[in-house]
Amino acid sequence: MFPVHRHPEVAQALDEGRPVVALESTLLAHGLPRPGNVETGLELEDAVRRHGATPATIAVLDGVAHIGLSGQDLERICSDPDLTKLGLRDVPVAAGLGRSGATTVASTAALARTAGISVFATGGIGGVHRGARDTFDESADLDVLARTRIVVVCAGAKSILDIPATLQRLESLSVPVIGYRTYAFPGFYLTESGSTVDWRCDTPDEVAQIFAAADGFSDAALIVANPLPMDRQLDPAMHDTVLRYALGAAVEAGVTGGDVTPYVLERLHIASNGLTQEVNVDLVLRNAALAAEIAVAVAATEQ
Q: Hey, which residues are catalytic here?
A: 24, 158
CA distance 299 to 303: 6
State yes or no: cis peptide before 176, omega within 30 of 0: no
CA distance 55 to 20: 6
10 Å CB burial of residue 159 (0-12, 13-18, 19+) is buried
Give me the phi and psi of 191, to 5 degrees please. Answer: -60, -40
CB 114 within 8 Å of CB 58: no
CA distance 287 to 303: 24
CB 127 within 8 Å of CB 139: yes
